[in-house]
A = this chain, B = another copy of it.
Amino acid sequence: MILYWLGMFGIAAFAITGVISSGKRDMDLFSLVVLGMVTSLGGGTIRDVILSVETVYWVKDTSYLWVAAASSVFAFFAVRFIENRQTIFHYADSFGLALFTVVATENVLRLGFSATIAVTMGVITGIAGGIIRDLLSNRAPLVLGREFYATPALLGALFIVLLNDVFPSHPYNAIYATTLIVVLRLFAIHKGLYYPSWLLYKKRAATTEELPHEPRK
């Protein structure tokens, strides 16, 4: 039951990031609602399709659909009164990432898959919606940024697997793991949490510009 509500909160959070991220001057209400819904329902849809579940979650229970639509409408009107949209965007994105990763990992475990598959699907579900949003709104995917993004999702997914092992189906496990991801992600945003230098990608002379293919205009 807690999982159900956490999932709904995740849907709402991601819908809001979709509207803020894709919003451009003079776009209309319904287009933005569509984009908010794609962002918030996309990750879980990919998870369900890959796991070949019988019915995708929002086809089975249309409340998810309505929560995504209502949150998008709310975000559409609310952003007018918000001064610092990017802060809201990053906070909502952190919550969405955390909630989706944890809920997906625990659900996949309950379906009887191995811990490897559960963690993989948890991370995929957490980051896929944001990647779709960033592609559609022509923003560099957050996961490709310099701060911690995929790593908090991985640590949170591993943490919930561990918690479920030690305290089987304790009702608050999901809340502990969600908190871990959100805290790590907020640290990354505000303190610029990085990896040690030897775990960072280094460029040499050769760059993408030197490709024999024309660069994207």
Q: How many copies does the complex hold?
A: 3
Given contacts A201-B32, A201-B76, contact A140 B214 (CB under 8 A): yes
How many whole Å from A28's CB to the nearest CB in chain B? 4
9 contacting pairs across A/B (C-beta < 8 A): A21-B208, A27-B144, A51-B59, A65-B120, A79-B201, A80-B202, A83-B206, A86-B208, A86-B210
Pair B116/A65 contact, Cβ less than 8 Å: yes
With both beta carbons as reference points, the residue of chain B lying nearest to A90 in the complex is identified as: B212
Pair A52/B50 contact, Cβ less than 8 Å: no
Q: Would you call A29 an interface residue if the criterion is a C-beta within 8 Å of the partner chain's C-beta atoms?
A: yes
Pair A136/B146 contact, Cβ less than 8 Å: no
Q: Which residues of B contact A199 (CB under 8 A)?
A: 28-29
A: number of interface residues (CB 8 Å): 80
Pair B140/A138 contact, Cβ less than 8 Å: yes
How many whole Å from A14's CB to the nearest CB in chain B? 17
Given contacts A86-B211, A136-B141, A141-B136, contact A201 B24 (CB under 8 A): yes
Q: Which of A112-162 contact B (CB under 8 A)?
A: 113-114, 116-117, 120, 123, 127, 131, 135-146, 148-151, 154
Chain A window 1-36, contacts with chain B (Cβ cutoff 8 Å), 1 for yes, 0 for no? 000000000000000000001111111111110110
Q: What CA separation (Å) do A54 and B204 show in the bound complex?
A: 44
Pair A143/B208 contact, Cβ less than 8 Å: no
Pair A139/B30 contact, Cβ less than 8 Å: no
How many whole Å from A143's CB to the nearest CB in chain B? 6
Give the 6 A-B residue pairs with the shortest CB-CB distance, closest first.
A140-B216, A28-B195, A23-B201, A27-B201, A29-B199, A145-B213
Pair B28/A148 contact, Cβ less than 8 Å: yes
Pair B86/A206 contact, Cβ less than 8 Å: yes
Q: What CA separation (Å) do A199 and B10 show in the bound complex?
A: 25
Q: What CA separation (Å) do A35 and B116 show in the bound complex?
A: 17
Q: Which residues of B contact A145 (CB under 8 A)?
A: 27, 213-214
Pair A194/B28 contact, Cβ less than 8 Å: yes
